[in-house]
């Protein structure tokens, strides 16, 4: 456990109140606006590096340590970080050793999804605040553990759904909530990944030199090394992730639910499969449609691989279809398309042309995270928001894998009288790793 000033104050407050009993209130001078924040990063091959570059643009932030199980990636990023900052960070192959570094205030967790739960909880136990990449976990059980952990350890956790800090996304929801397009009965959410193709089958082989493959697997089932499952491609295999549904889906589904101010469906069904590349090595579907029933509206998730522009000319987005018009939003901007005919036409509702993005969503998200570290306020995408959306995406994948309609009991975090579906909720860790206990 770290022994710096912030760590001491957090532990003292927790002991005084009983762990997790109330939200933490920290003295105003515990972390002043001018104090530096030292960050460490776990996982550097993809978003970890993007996140580090972004957070270093926030004044007063320093990089204290880097961690990766691939020494090739680790040392390349170390050189790039030193070139960027003028300082050499400490380097680790084992994240647990990095978390023991006393001067680290916050940790970016950007490893494959199957690692997120353990690493976030361990970081909270060491008194660190956490920027956790999305989706927050690879199972519903882990999502629930993470919510309990943040309450228990009183940490600040920002989830990497950075659109929650992007002004044009927020503006679109504000317009929606003002009721201009009337009652919404259908929400469409989609991601069409035209740049990606098949993952050709290749044989298993020895792990590359410098890669601690056993640590990379961690709690996931033991399997021979295969380059298809490593680095970015991990997301197409159920052991580690949930395909496009949990990758792009959590970004976009988040705004679909945020716009509707509703997060718990009554039922879900899903269809799809490997229609584009039936013989390639991916396990997750390259084509999938999931329909969520909320009782008074439906939400449809739709994704494809190998196709781009099919919905409103946009490769990804969220469309709120109301009685009087449709609001469409993606990372480029948002617009409103009024109903042109029929009973839904509303006098005075005019088309709103695309309101363009600033393109600064990730940077603003990092600024919010650092501010919350200092103020102890709730960040723009806290763990409960991230867990809601990850669970929602997992429900769609479970319905797909079982091939039938499922009914969800949100209060008890179980399916309704469905042991077969419940079996997908929990996760079994490979020894010696164990689910975190609080």
Instruction: State the first-to-last Cα distance of the chain, in angstroms, to the nearest integer.
Output: 15
Domain assignment present for 287: yes
Give the pLDDT score at 435: 96
Between 29 and 430, whose confidence is greater? 430
Domain assignment present for 9: yes
Beta-strand pair 184-193/157-159: unpaired
Give the pLDDT score at 14: 33
- Do residue 79 and residue 111 come from a single domain? yes
Give the pLDDT score at 344: 86
Q: What is the pLDDT of residues 282-293, one digit of tens each?
A: 999 999 999 999
The set of residues, in sequence order, having a beta carbon less than 8 Å from that of 102 and lying 6+ positions away, is: 2, 3, 4
Asked if 244 and 396 touch (Cβ cutoff 8 Å), the reply is no
Give the pLDDT score at 17: 29
Average pLDDT, the chain: 92
Asked if 69 and 216 touch (Cβ cutoff 8 Å), the reply is yes
- Do residue 104 and residue 237 come from a single domain? no
Q: What is the pLDDT of residues 49-95, one digit of tens each?
A: 999 999 999 999 999 999 999 999 999 999 999 999 999 999 999 99
- Do residue 231 and residue 105 come from a single domain? no
- What CATH code is carried by the domain that includes residue 130? 3.40.50.720
Distance of CA 406 to the CA centre of its chain: 24
Q: What is the pLDDT of residues 266-277, one digit of tens each?
A: 999 999 999 999
- What CATH code is carried by the domain that includes residue 328? 3.30.360.10
User: In the predicted model, is pLDDT for residue 117 greater than 90?
Assistant: yes
User: In the predicted model, is pLDDT for residue 365 greater than 50?
Assistant: yes
The whole-angstrom separation of Cα 334 and Cα 16 is 48
Burial status of residue 392 (CB atoms within 10 A of its CB: 0-12, 13-18, 19 or more): buried
Domain assignment present for 435: no
User: In the predicted model, is pLDDT for residue 10 greater than 70?
Assistant: no
Tokens found for residue 74: 């680790």
The whole-angstrom separation of Cα 408 and Cα 422 is 10
Q: What is the pLDDT of residues 319-333, one digit of tens each?
A: 999 999 999 999 999
Q: Which domain holds residue 112?
A: 5-164+364-382
User: In the predicted model, is pLDDT for residue 118 greater than 70?
Assistant: yes
- Do residue 230 and residue 308 come from a single domain? yes
- Do residue 187 and residue 87 come from a single domain? no
What is the spatial order of strands in the sheet that 333-338 belongs to? 352-356, 333-338, 325-330, 316-322, 184-193, 298-305, 287-293, 267-273, 406-409, 414-415
The set of residues, in sequence order, having a beta carbon less than 8 Å from that of 204 and lying 6+ positions away, is: 224, 225, 226
Give the pLDDT score at 163: 95
Give the pLDDT score at 12: 30
- Do residue 55 and residue 71 come from a single domain? yes
Domain assignment present for 428: no
Domain assignment present for 432: no
User: In the predicted model, is pLDDT for residue 371 greater than 70?
Assistant: yes
Instruction: Return the ∠ at Cα 44 (arms to 72 and 240), rounded to 5°.
Output: 100
From the CB of residue 295, how many other CB atoms can be counted at a distance below 10 Å?
9
Long-range contacts, 269-272 (Cβ 8 Å, 24+): 269/399, 269/404, 269/405, 269/406, 270/396, 270/397, 270/399, 270/400, 271/400, 271/403, 272/400
User: In the predicted model, is pLDDT for residue 5 greater than 60?
Assistant: no
Tell me the percentage of the chain whose pLDDT exceeds 90: 88
Give the pLDDT score at 311: 86
- Do residue 157 and residue 187 come from a single domain? no
- Do residue 107 and residue 228 come from a single domain? no
Domain count, the chain: 2
User: In the predicted model, is pLDDT for residue 180 greater than 50?
Assistant: yes
In the beta sheet, which residues pair with residue 311? 314
- Do residue 221 and residue 337 come from a single domain? yes
- Do residue 176 and residue 159 come from a single domain? no
Give the pLDDT score at 31: 53
Predicted confidence band of residue 1 (pLDDT cuts 50, 70, 90):
very low
The whole-angstrom separation of Cα 416 and Cα 422 is 9
User: In the predicted model, is pLDDT for residue 386 greater than 80?
Assistant: yes
- Do residue 278 and residue 401 come from a single domain? yes
Q: What is the mean pLDDT of residues 103-120?
A: 98
Give the pLDDT score at 34: 63
Tokens found for residue 203: 């044989």
Domain assignment present for 433: no
Domain assignment present for 37: yes
Domain assignment present for 276: yes
- Do residue 289 and residue 323 come from a single domain? yes
Q: What is the pLDDT of residues 139-168, one digit of tens each?
A: 999 999 999 999 999 999 999 999 999 999
Q: What is the mean pLDDT of residues 377-393?
A: 98
Of the candidates 411, 299, 327, 370, the one whose C-alpha atom is nearest the C-alpha of residue 58 is 370
Give the pLDDT score at 99: 98
In the beta sheet, which residues pair with residue 415? 408
Asked if 108 and 89 touch (Cβ cutoff 8 Å), the reply is no
């Amino acid at each position: 456990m770290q022994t710096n000033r912030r760590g001491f104050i957090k532990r003292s407050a927790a002991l005084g109140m009983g762990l997790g009993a109330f939200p933490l209130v920290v003295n105003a001078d515990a972390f002043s606006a001018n104090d530096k924040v030292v960050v460490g990063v776990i996982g550097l091959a993809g978003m970890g590096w993007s996140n580090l570059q972004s957070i270093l643009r926030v004044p007063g932030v320093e990089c204290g340590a880097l961690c990766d199980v691939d020494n090739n990636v680790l040392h390349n990023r170390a050189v790039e970080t030193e070139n960027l900052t003028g300082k050499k960070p400490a380097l680790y192959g084992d994240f647990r050793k990095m978390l023991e570094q006393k001067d680290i205030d916050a940790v970016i967790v950007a490893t494959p999804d199957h690692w997120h739960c353990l690493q976030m909880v361990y970081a909270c136990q060491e008194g660190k605040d956490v920027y956790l990449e999305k989706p927050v976990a690879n199972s519903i059980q882990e999502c629930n553990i993470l919510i309990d952990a943040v309450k228990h350890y009183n940490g600040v956790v920002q989830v990497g759904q950075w659109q929650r800090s992007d002004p044009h996304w927020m503006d679109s929801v504000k317009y929606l909530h003002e009721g201009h397009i009337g009652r919404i009965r259908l929400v469409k959410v989609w991601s069409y990944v035209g740049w990606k193709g098949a993952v050709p089958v290749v044989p298993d082989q020895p792990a590359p030199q410098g890669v601690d493959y056993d640590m990379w697997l961690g709690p996931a089932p033991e399997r021979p090394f295969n380059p298809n499952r490593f680095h970015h491609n991990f997301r197409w295999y159920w052991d580690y992730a949930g395909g496009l549904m949990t990758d792009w889906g959590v970004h976009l589904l988040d705004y679909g639910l945020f716009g509707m101010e509703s997060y718990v469906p009554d039922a879900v069904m899903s269809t799809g499969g490997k229609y584009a590349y039936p013989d390639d090595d991916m396990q997750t579907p390259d084509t999938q449609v999931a329909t969520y029933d909320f009782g008074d509206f439906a939400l449809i998730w739709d994704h494809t691989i190998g196709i781009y522009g099919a919905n409103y000319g946009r490769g990804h987005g969220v469309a709120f279809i109301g009685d009087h018009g449709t609001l469409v939003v993606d990372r480029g901007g948002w617009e409103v398309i009024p109903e042109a005919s029929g009973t839904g036409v509303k006098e005075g509702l005019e088309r709103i042309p695309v309101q363009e993005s600033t393109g600064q969503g990730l940077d603003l998200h990092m600024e919010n995270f650092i501010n919350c570290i200092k103020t102890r306020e709730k960040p723009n995408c806290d763990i409960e928001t991230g867990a809601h959306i990850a669970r929602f995406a997992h429900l769609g994948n479970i319905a797909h894998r079982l091939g039938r309609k499922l009914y969800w009991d949100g209060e008890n975090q179980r399916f309704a009288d469905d042991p077969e579906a419940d079996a997908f909720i929990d996760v079994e860790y490979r020894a010696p790793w164990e689910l975190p206990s609080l």
